[in-house]
Amino acid sequence: MQLKDKVVFITGGAQGFGKAVAEAVLKKGAKVCVADVKVDQGEATAKELQASSGADNVLFVKCDVSDASVFEDAFKAAVSKFGHVDVMCNNAGIMDERIWEKQLEINIGGVVRGTMMALNHMRKDKGGRGGVIINTASTAGFLPFPWAPTYAASKSAIYHFTASWAENPDMKSADVRMVSICPPGAKTALLDCIEEKVINYEHFKQFIDRYEFCGVDQVVEEFLLAMEDDTINGTAITIKGKEGVEKMKMTLIPAE
């Protein structure tokens, strides 16, 4: 997919990976809807992006991905502004084991809601234009992550949800690709006040003190790859720090 004049909807777009992806796609000529529950930060991000890329190319919408009606209103606002959405980035997420129910509602519930809204809007067999849906998972979804078990479970669910939808036989006629991005730890707002959000922080601190974080720019590159390479579908793109990336694809075993 060529990104020029395409419309990209990004949840959790006010900061971190979301903001960085918004900046990158705008440079390629796309239009962006920054969706975030943090209104002040979202409006500030939108204003900054509008100053560099044009007011008509950037929209901010308040969006709580755990609230179905609010999320739907935000998506409709983007469609009303730009006419359509070509790329859906379900990127909003939290890591906080104290509120594990809310964590699941945002991390996996938000991804499911966003995917289904975008799919219904995009699918060519229902009158849409096709497109790509990119869901932010994590390497914590593949490996034991004892400091945040519910967070890890939510990210594993995102990977399997994305890969399973991509294998659905109806997706060929829908012409909508599905990709998950699975970064390791990066220094973003997800780690703010982390000592209160994980189990056994002292043990976790020993781990992160020797951990090699990946760069936000590395993650952005893989978002762009997922958008622009039309051959990538049902794939988990895993960022492996200095080792580059790995592309994993779940294969359906045919029934006999």
**Is residue 25 a contact partner of residue 8, using CB atoms and an 8 Å limit?**
yes
Query: What is the CA 157 to chain-centroid distance, rounded?
Result: 13
Q: How far is CA 160 from CA 47, 88, 212, 229, 248, in A?
A: 36, 18, 26, 21, 12
Gap between the Cα atoms of 114 and 220, Å rounded: 20
* 201 among known catalytic residues: no
Residues belonging to the active site: 151
